[in-house]
Amino acid sequence: MSILVNRNTRVICQGITGKVGEFHTRGCLDYGTRMVGGVTPGKGGEKVADLPVFDTVAEAVASTGANATMIFVPPAFAADAILEAVDAGIELVIAITEGIPVLDMARVLPVVHASKSRLIGPNCPGVITPGECKIGIMPGYIHAPGHVGVMSRSGTLTYEAVWQLTQLGHGQSTCVGLGGDPLVGSSFIDLLTLFEADPDTHAILMMGEIGGSAEEEAAEFVKRHVTKPVAAFIAGQTAPPGKRMGHAGAIISGGKGTAEAKLLALRDAGIEIAESPADMGTAMARAIAKRGR
């Protein structure tokens, strides 16, 4: 078991004929993901990495039975690509694209939420169930199959955390990058719900960052609904207010979204805190050990 994706997930890539789309489609194939095709309007009938290319997502679904998509479409067209995937009934839409205008996402999210599709991202590294299915841009080899569910708003910070876990002997059930944009398809709470319900996930590690209030809401949810041990790290504890740190969401403004407020809420929910980014794996191990007593 795992969440979102497993060895049976059938994946297409929207934007497969682009350089980046093709590169990562091959990466996912190498990892063992069941890539079944790709979509680029006007390139239907071509082949990329031996996979059939379709003009529309609907055609790709009809022909391949795909139930997940990985989107590498350029930012100006990415919102449209998400809508197309949702309309074609794809269950899991993973938008890797960085730089989508925020109002485009404000138009897309109500459509996604009214549908049966789940959106992960945009501006995220993707989703991986180690040893079974990788959909995204993360380096596969740092992961190991196991029982820690990992979720984060940041890409490379997730790699760092996963690597620490793997070195400590803690494999992962599924790792999910939620995305660094202000508006993303899935929240920490959505993922906490899935991880809590997944019998194969025994513990949860989350990496948040300054800005917004998603971490505080997650803490409140953990307090009420999560029985499994949880550990967390908040990036940007030293960031000055008013400066945007790369991610469009990562800004402290009006005294909101500070690391202090987030850490306070997390601690209050009984979540084990990693004080330093070097401590993420060990914080998870501590949380597991405490619960094991």
Partner 1 sequence: MKIHEYQAKDLLRAAGVPVLAGKVVRSPEEAAAAFTALGTPVCAVKAQIHAGGRGKGMVKGSTQRGVELAKTAVDAARITKALLGNTLVTIQTGTEGQVVRQVFVESGCAIDRELYCAVLVDRRVGSPVLIASTAGGMDIEEVAHNTPELILSEPFDPDRGLAAYQTRVLSAKLGLPTKSWRAAEQFFTSLTRAFLALDASLLEINPLVLTKDGGLVALDAKMTFDDNALFRHKDLAGLRDEAEEDPSETRASAAGLSYVKLNGTIGCLVNGAGLAMSTMDLVKYHGGEPANFLDVGGGADVKQVTEAFRIILSDKNVKAILVNIFGGIMRCTTIANAVIEASKTVGFTVPLVVRLEGTEVEEGKKILASSGTAIITADGLTDAAQKVVAAANAV
Catalytic residues: 247
Q: Which stretch binds partner 1 (CB under 8 A): 34-42, 47-55, 148-156, 260-268?
A: 148-156
Tokens of 59: 């055609």
Residue 149 in the binding site for partner 1 (CB under 8 A) = no
Are the C-beta atoms of residues 148 and 155 closer than 8 Å to each other? Answer: no
Q: How many of the chain's residues bind partner 1 (CB under 8 A)? A: 61
**To the nearest whole angstrom, how small is the minimum distance from the Cβ of residue 134 to partner 1?**
12
Q: Which of residues 77-96 bind partner 1 (CB under 8 A)?
A: none
Helix axes 75-87, 57-64, angle to 10 degrees: 50
Q: Are 135 and 68 in contact (CB under 8 A)?
A: yes
Binds partner 1 by CB under 8 A, chosen from 49, 237, 261, 273: 237
Determine the 3-state secondary structure of 175 from DSSP: strand
Should residue 110 be labelled a site residue for partner 1 when binding is judged by CB under 8 A?
Answer: yes
Binding of residue 145 to partner 1 (CB under 8 A): no
Residue 156 to residue 162: CA distance in whole angstroms: 10
One symbol per residue from 29 to 48: x for binding partner 1 (CB under 8 A), - otherwise; what is it?
Answer: --------------------
- CB atoms inside a 10 Å sphere around CB 113: 11
Among 244, 267, 289, 290, binds partner 1 (CB under 8 A): 244
Q: How far is the CB of 105 from partner 1 (least distance, A)?
A: 8
Strands 51-54 and 47-48 come out as: antiparallel
Which residues neighbour 72 within 8 Å (Cβ) at sequence distance 6 or greater?
13, 14, 15, 16, 18, 20, 21, 24, 96, 97
- DSSP secondary structure letter of residue 256: B
CB of 182 to partner 1, least distance (A): 5
Contact 215, 191 (CB under 8 A): no
Q: Which residues bind partner 1 (CB under 8 A)?
A: 20, 75-76, 99-104, 106-107, 109-110, 125, 137-139, 142, 152-160, 163, 180, 182-183, 207, 209-210, 212-214, 217, 233, 235-240, 242-250, 253-255, 275-278
